[in-house]
Structure 1
Amino acid sequence: MEPVTYDPIGVVESPFSKPEEVPRPSDEFVDATGTVHLKPEYEAGLKGLEEFSHVVLVSHLHEVAETRLRVTPIASRGEVGIFATSGTVRPNPIGTSVVELVELSGTELTVSNLDLADGTPILDIKPYAPKMTDLDDLEIGWMGD
C-alpha cells in the first residue's frame, strides 16, 4: 500500500498544553472550551455548519510517540486490543472528538467538551449527525461494563 499524506486544515487552541493534561475518557464530557483555527482558504467549506449543535473533529495526534497493539483501559476488564479502544497509541494516531459547537465566526470555531491538546492539527471537520436510527442492537463491548 502507498503511504497516505494529509495537510492539516487548521489547528486547535486548547487549555491543555500537553496530551497528558487532557482528561481520560469517561462517562462525563470534558469540561474545556477552546478554538479551532482553520486556514482562510477553508472558510467557504463552513457554510451551514452553524446549524449543527455538535461537530466531529478529525485530528492528527501529533505528540503520540509510541504505538501499542494491546492496552489496559481504566474501565476495562483487562487487556484489550488498541482497535477496541479510543486510545491514542495507535499505528496511525488519528483522533476523533465530538465537541459542542458554541460559536462559528469566520474561520474560528469555539467548541466545548474539547479533549485535544493545544496545537493539535485538524484534518477534517464533520457535522455530528448519527446515521443509525435503531440503536436497540447497539453493543459497546467492554465499555458497557
Structure 2
Amino acid sequence: MSQQPARPTADAVVPMSPIGYVVTEYARPQQAPPQATLAYEDQGHVVLFEPYAPGLDGLAPGWYVWLLTWLHDQTEEETTPLRVVPRGWEKSGRTTGVYATRTPNRHNRIGLSLVRIRDVKENVLYFDGVDLVDGTPVLDIKPYSTTSDTPPEDD
C-alpha cells in the first residue's frame, strides 16, 4: 500500500520571503483603489532585490502580470473575520464568507493585483494599475495568460 503524502495542519508555517517591494503614492490601504484594474491611470513600480532581477527578463511593456503581495499594512483585527460585509452592502449589513469576496482583509494577507507593464529597466518593473500601498512586499510576479486565467467560454 502506498503511503499518503504529509498534509499541512492549520498551524503549519509556510516559509516565504519577498523578492522586492512596491512603490506607490498611497500610504494607507484606505487611500488605495479597491482593485488595480479599476485604477490603470495610477502608476507604480516594483523594485526587485538584486538577486531576483534576472527574473524580469522576457517581460515587455503592454503585458499584464499578476503581482502576488503580502498585505503588510493590515491590523490583526482586519485579518481575522471569516464573515464580512462586502463593499457596496454596507447599508444592508448582510454578511458573506470572506472567500466569496475580494476584500484584502483575510487570514493570510496575500494580495493579488493584475497590473499592466509600462516598462522594465534593470531591477524595476514600472506598471499601471495601483491598488497597493507604498512598501508592500512582493512575493511573486506571474504573467497573465488569456488561456489560463480566463474561464472557457462555455462556462
TM-score (norm: length of structure 2)? 0.80
Describe the shift of the 1:25–1:40 C-alpha distance in structure 2 as closer, same or farther (beyond 3 A): closer
| Offset of residue 61 of structure 1 | 0.2
Q: Which residue of 2 aligns with 1:72?
A: 85
What's the secondary structure of 1:49's corresponding residue?
coil
Check the 8 A contact 1:52/1:128 in 2, yes or no: no
1:12-27 to 2 correspondences below 5 Å: 12-25=22-35
TM-score (norm: length of structure 1)? 0.85
| Offset of residue 17 of structure 1 | 1.0
| Offset of residue 88 of structure 1 | 1.4
Provide the rounded CA distance (Å) in 2 between the counterparts of 1:133 and 1:84: 17
| Offset of residue 34 of structure 1 | 0.6
Q: Which residue of 1 aligns with 2:42?
A: 32
Residue 29 of structure 1 aligns with an amino acid whose one-letter code is: L
Provide the rounded CA distance (Å) in 1 between the counterparts of 2:123 and 2:113: 19
Q: Which residue of 2 aligns with 1:136?
A: 154
Identity %: 36
- Gaps (5+ residues) in structure 1? 138-145
Number of residue pairs matched?
Answer: 136
Q: Which residue of 1 aligns with 2:129?
A: 113
- The runs of at least 4 aligned residues of structure 1 exceeding 6 Å deviation read none
Q: Over alpha carbons, which structure has the higher Rg?
A: 2
